[in-house]
Every structure is written in structure tokens, then in C-alpha cells.
Amino acid sequence: MSEALFGSELDAMVTRYLEELNDALRRLPSSKRDHLISEIREHIVEMRAERPVRDRSDMEALLNRVGLPEDIAAVALEDVEDTGELADEAGPPIVAPAESRFLGGRVSKRTFMIGTAAAAIVLFGLFVGVAVGSHRGQAVFGIVRSGSSVRPVLIQPAPPAAIREAVPNVIGENPAEAAATLSAAGLTFSVDNASSTTTPIGVVVSQNPPAGSFVPSRRQVTIVVSTGPQSTTS
Amino acid sequence: MQYMVQSRAPQLAQMRKGALEYCVLALLRDGERYGFELVRELSNAELVTSEGTIYPLLSRLRADGAVETSWRESTQGPPRRYYKLTAEGKASLDFFAVEWQRFCQAVNGILAVGAGQ
């Protein structure tokens, strides 16, 4: 592999990390978000200048040292929540994802924050669902139709971000069940796919953090959904 | 037991976070520093594990008027954002330094009594 190609692969890891950070910071006003991301980007540049990153595992160690996007976002959002200056805009509309995208295994690395999509697929198999989530620090719910947008309805204040939640087990559930379980526990999630010879298509194979961990509210849990026995990596 | 230890962790994290803010101000007492330098010092002192979490803190200190920033050319690489302690930040740090000493002495005193019994 040429050095240039290798370098671009490492740059892509940084880009992906910053995208995840941007996603985690969605509730921050955009000027603050851009400012923070540019600082983290500069920090990574300095780290790379200080100690050359030779391969993927070096880069993973570096990004690990910078910290999980959710952890950085938790500090940033906590500071902003203290002063009550969350993003004025309502953010992207809450769109209920069509369940076929989950079943078909075409949703890869797609992240749904609570309040933007999470429990919209609670009523799995129907076109109508209930979205429960958090909007500008408040708990909201709404009736949604698959693919439609919804205006959030206020029910009660959401607990502060610092409160820690126990991660429930979602292994063996389908993505819709897992989404409902995780949002009920005050957590967000992202979906990844992996082939499995032992777990049927469309069933959660693994999760991270594991069940029983204590994590901050709205922490993202990655669920890995089986795409069946076919291998994509051989 | 493990649960009890874990359930106390957020309080420790809050204490750490509260003190961290003043550690940042203290690092700026003798002059300006750029973000990376600050983070590296705090990281080496094992006061932070996720280095990126310092930047939201720096933003907050700036919004509070405790620090101000300016861009400087760097001999190597892109320009750097330097942080400088303001008079307000200095006053806040001096106040904390006194209160912290009193707090430590009081807590140490109580801990020593507890250990002696």
C-alpha cells in the first residue's frame, strides 16, 4: 500500500471521528459547535505533529485519547444547558425511518438520536408509531407516520445529562425492540451490521457498552445487527 | 459493593471537574499558553483522560470572561489560539486558592478523625 493512500485512510478516520462529534453536538448552537470542532481538529493536528501516526492502531489510540464524541458532547451540552442557550432551531425534523431499512440491513452506521427518530418504530410492522424523546432538554412525544415529520409535544422536563443510566440488554431483540428498550432507558443508539452464522438476519448480535454498564443519560449504545451468514470481509 | 462505588463516581467526577477549571486558570497564571499545551499539561498530571473534554471547558471560561484568546502564528504548522488569564480570571483563581486550602484542611481533619477511631 502506498504511503499516500495510507495517509488518506488515516485522514478518513479523523474525518469520521469529527463527523461523529458533530453529530453528538447537534443540540449545540452551530457557532459553538463549529468552534469546538475546529479546536478538536487542531488538537489532533498537534498530536500528530508531536508523535507520528503510522497505522490504524496508532490512530485509534490517538482518537481514544481525544475521547469519545459523546463524552466531549456531554461536557459541552452540560455547560450550555446551565446557561439555557441550546440551539434555537428545532434541529432536523423528526422522521420515522421505514422499518424495511432496518430489516433489509441497509442501515449501516446510521445514528438516530432520541428525539429525532428513536422510538418512532415502536409499533413495528405498522405505519403509525409513537415517538418519545428529548427536544431542547424537554421530554416530548408525538404520533408519527413512517417517513413523515412530527412536531414534538412537551410532556415533562428531561433529567439532567449527568444522571447515569443502567444499560439494558438488547441482544436477541430486533432493531425496533432494541430502539424502544434503549430509548425507554434514556439512551441513544446507532446501528451497525455484521454477518453471523449463529444469529438470524435482523437480530441484534452484540451491543456496546454491554448490559449492566452505568453510563450518562443519552449516551449512545452501538447495536450490531446480524446480516445472516454471508461474509463481506473475505 | 461494586454498585455503591460506581454510584459515587459521578460525585467524584463533579468534584474533579470543579477543580479542573481552576487548574486551567492556574496554568495560565505565568503567561499565555495555547490549547494543546494546556491540555497536555493537564493530561500529564492525570487530571483528564479524554483530552477533548477540556475544549468545552475553555469555551466556558472564555464566555465567563476568565480567559481571553488570541491567534498567533506558529513556526511550525497552522496558527494557534492562545489563552490568557484576565483580571477577572486572576481574581477568581486567587479566591479559589484560599478556599481550596481551607476546604482541604477541613476535609483532611475530618478524614483523620474518622481514621483514628
Across A5-28, average pLDDT: 91
Sorting pLDDT into bands at 50, 70 and 90, what band is A156? very low
Interchain CB contact of A45 with B (< 8 Å): yes
Across A85-100, average pLDDT: 44
Q: Contacts from B38-42 at CB under 8 Å and sequence distance 24+?
A: B38/B83, B39/A43
CB < 8 Å to B36, chain A? 42-43, 46-47
Of A67, A79, A162, the CB nearest to B52: A67
Residue in chain B lying closest to A79 (CA): B60
CB-CB neighbours of A159 under 10 Å: 14
pLDDT score of A129 more than 60: no
Between A81 and B20, name the one with better pLDDT: B20
Residue in chain A lying closest to B39 (CA): A43
pLDDT score of A232 more than 70: no
The per-residue pLDDT for A196 is 78
**Which of A137, A129, A138, A143 is CA-nearest to residue A179?**
A129
* Whether A43 and B77 lie within 8 Å, measured CB to CB: no
The per-residue pLDDT for A217 is 72
- Range scoring the smallest mean pLDDT among A91-105, B7-21, B37-51: A91-105
Q: Mind telling me how many Å the CA of B117 is from chain A's nearest CA?
A: 34
Across B90-117, average pLDDT: 90
Sorting pLDDT into bands at 50, 70 and 90, what band is A141? very low
Across A172-180, average pLDDT: 78
Across A128-155, average pLDDT: 45
**Which of A184, A179, A174, A171 is CA-nearest to residue A121?**
A179
* Whether A67 and B56 lie within 8 Å, measured CB to CB: no
β-partners of residue A222 are: A190, A208
pLDDT score of A151 more than 60: no
Across B57-67, average pLDDT: 94
* Whether B58 and A45 lie within 8 Å, measured CB to CB: no
Between B74 and A16, name the one with better pLDDT: A16
The per-residue pLDDT for B116 is 60
Residue in chain A lying closest to B13 (CA): A162
Task: Read off the pTM.
Answer: 0.54
Residue in chain A lying closest to B82 (CA): A39
* Whether A79 and B59 lie within 8 Å, measured CB to CB: yes
Between B1 and A26, name the one with better pLDDT: A26
pLDDT score of A188 more than 50: yes
Between A191 and B72, name the one with better pLDDT: B72
Q: What is the pLDDT of residues A19-78, one digit of tens each?
A: 999 999 999 999 999 999 999 999 999 999 889 999 999 999 999 999 999 999 999 998
pLDDT score of B17 more than 70: yes
What rounded mean pLDDT belongs to chain B? 88
Is domain B2-115 classified as CATH 1.10.10.10?
yes
For residue A117, give the C-alpha cell.
427518530
* Whether A49 and B76 lie within 8 Å, measured CB to CB: yes
Helices (H) and strands (E) in chain B, counts: 4, 3
CB pairs under 8 A between A and B: 71
| Interface list for A 146-175 with B (CB within 8 A) | 162-164
Look up residue A180 and give its amino acid. A
- Range scoring the smallest mean pLDDT among A53-62, A154-163, A199-208, B19-28: A154-163
Asked if residue A209 has a cis previous peptide bond (ω within 30° of 0), the answer is yes
Between A219 and A115, name the one with better pLDDT: A219
* Highest-pLDDT range among A126-130, A170-174, B50-54: B50-54
Between A40 and A184, name the one with better pLDDT: A40
CA dihedral A72→A76→A78→A84, nearest 10 degrees, is -160
Q: Mind telling me how many Å the CA of B104 is from chain A's nearest CA?
A: 25
pLDDT score of A230 more than 90: no
Q: Mind telling me how many Å the CA of B47 is from chain A's nearest CA?
A: 13
